[in-house]
Amino acid sequence: MTTANMGGPTGRILVVGGYGAVGATVTSTLTEWFPGRVIPGGRDAARARENGGVRVDVSDPEGFREVLDGLGDVAAVVLCVEPPDARVARTCLERGIHLVDIGATRRQLDAVAELHDPAVRSGATALLSVGVAPGLTNLLARRAHEAVGGAESLRLTVLLGSGERHGADAVRWTVQGLAEPATAGPERTFLPGFGARTAHPFPFSDQHTLRRTLRVPDVTTRLCLDSRPLTGMLFALRRAGLLRVACRPAAQRLLTGVFRRVHTGGDAFAVRADARHGDQYAAYGLTGRAQSRVTGLVAAFATRELMTGSLPAGVHHIEQLPSLDGVLGWLGSHGVTTRRLDGRTRR
């Protein structure tokens, strides 16, 4: 059954995963802007209630529909956990409920992107690639792409702090990524605040999205951690094929548990985007602390834009809507510094 959304811009916002590492920031930031209209959700009924929210499970699409029916006036859903497929997104968009998805898995984002026409028909907007990577990587890539008049190649680099307490779902996603074979070689890159680092190809969704949205044929995203020994060890294990076991659910759970206990660095992170077109070259970089918090801030900003009703209906990645570039300036007041880098900083 498709029920037209009656929430409109005055409805409430359901934050699924709203008390997780990312979701807690989304919930608290949106609550400041929309007091009394933000509902955190998750599978743990007691925890959800403690946080003033509801029990909801995105792996149960029928149950998810019942939750929306029960709440009655949901105007927007923020997904701070990856559902197994696009059914939850379809339910929202067919009902005219806006959607913000912080997911980083290419297959899932591609499936949601296919819901563009139903979203246009219902007048709903879905925002994808919302967060740090994907998210801020996409925005820096677009700046660098424009600075060279249309890039032929883009190189994205993400450095994460291994001392940060990343959420279980984010660590599970990273473990899954480590199980995939490398698609390119490592590269040495200068990261603002960290110096020269060796980064390794990693299956962030941005590199696939940007080939389509910016029409750049050659895009690669690489990852390193602030701890050089940990980066070296992790990618040596991947090269040796020892992390392929993470394809199996039991091994994935075990490795996620082990990785969640490793805290040997700080919580600062950095992102860099390099664009080339012939002999034209441009690079942008940013640094901040606590990527889960910053991901939550980006998601809250995107949701506020949606709630103002100024964004076009349909499914869009963050770099496709120019007003969302404003998040980079806004994050400046939250300790995230963005700057253009010169050619000498790429080694």
Ligand X SMILES: NC(=O)c1ccc[n+]([C@@H]2O[C@H](COP(=O)([O-])OP(=O)(O)OC[C@H]3O[C@@H](n4cnc5c(N)ncnc54)[C@H](OP(=O)(O)O)[C@@H]3O)[C@@H](O)[C@H]2O)c1
Contact flag: residue 27 with ligand X (CB under 6 A) = no
Cis peptide bond upstream of 192, omega within 30: no
Length in residues, the chain: 347
Q: What is the dihedral sign for C-alpha 324, 329, 332, 336? A: positive
Name the phi and psi angles at 313, rounded to 5: -70, 160
Which tokens hold the place of 312? 């076009």
CA 73 to chain centre: 26
Position 336 contacts ligand X (CB under 6 A) = no
Binding status of residue 23 toward ligand X by CB under 6 A = yes
Q: Which of 3, 12, 47, 182 binds ligand X (CB under 6 A)?
A: 47
173 binds ligand X (CB under 6 A): yes
Q: Is 269 in the site for ligand X (CB under 6 A)?
A: no
User: Judged by CB under 6 A, which stretch of 11-19, 31-39, 186-194, 308-316 contacts ligand X?
Assistant: 11-19
Dig out the tokens for 66 from the structure. 């019942």
**Which tokens in the block code for residue 141?**
């890539």
Q: Note whether 16 binds ligand X by CB under 6 A.
A: yes
CB of 7 to ligand X, least distance (A): 20
Using the minimum distance from each CB to ligand X, give the nearer residue, 2 or 105.
105
Q: What's the gap between Cα 324 and its chain centre?
A: 14
| Cα–Cα dist 224/2, whole Å | 44
| Cα–Cα dist 311/323, whole Å | 9
Position 302 contacts ligand X (CB under 6 A): no
Q: Judged by CB under 6 A, which of 94, 169, 267, 319 binds ligand X?
A: 169
User: Is the Cβ of residue 125 or residue 138 nearer to ligand X in the bound state?
Assistant: 138
135 backbone dihedrals φ, ψ, rounded to 5°: 140, -95
Going residue by residue from 115 to 154, which x/- string records binding to ligand X, judged by CB under 6 A?
Answer: ----------------xxxxx-------------------
Question: Least distance in Å: CB of 135 to ligand X?
Answer: 5
CB 95 within 8 A of CB 2: yes
Stretch that binds ligand X, among 98-106, 111-119, 140-148, 311-319 (CB under 6 A): 98-106
Q: Binding residue for ligand X (CB under 6 A) from 7, 17, 96, 203?
A: 17
DSSP state of 284: E
Q: Is-contact 158 201, C-beta < 8 A?
A: no
Binding residue for ligand X, selected from 34, 82, 128, 269, defined by CB under 6 A:
82
Under rule CB under 6 A, residue 166 binds ligand X: yes
- Judged by CB under 6 A, the number of residues near ligand X is 34
What value does the CA radius of gyration of the chain take, rounded to a whole number of Å? 19
Q: Is residue 206 within the footprint of ligand X (CB under 6 A)?
A: no
- Report if residue 80 touches ligand X, rule: CB under 6 A: yes
Helices (H), the chain: 23-33, 45-50, 61-71, 87-94, 106-113, 116-122, 137-147, 168-178, 206-213, 228-239, 249-260, 291-307, 326-331
Candidate list 292, 303, 320, 338; residue touching ligand X; CB under 6 A: 292
Name the segment binding ligand X (CB under 6 A); options: 18-26, 143-151, 190-198, 279-287.
Answer: 18-26
Q: What are phi and psi of 223, to 5 degrees?
A: -130, 140
Give the residue with the Cβ less far from ligand X, 42 or 314.
42
* Residue 55 within binding range of ligand X, rule CB under 6 A: no
Binding site for ligand X (CB under 6 A): 16-17, 19-23, 42-44, 47, 56-59, 80-82, 102-104, 131-135, 166-170, 173, 292, 295
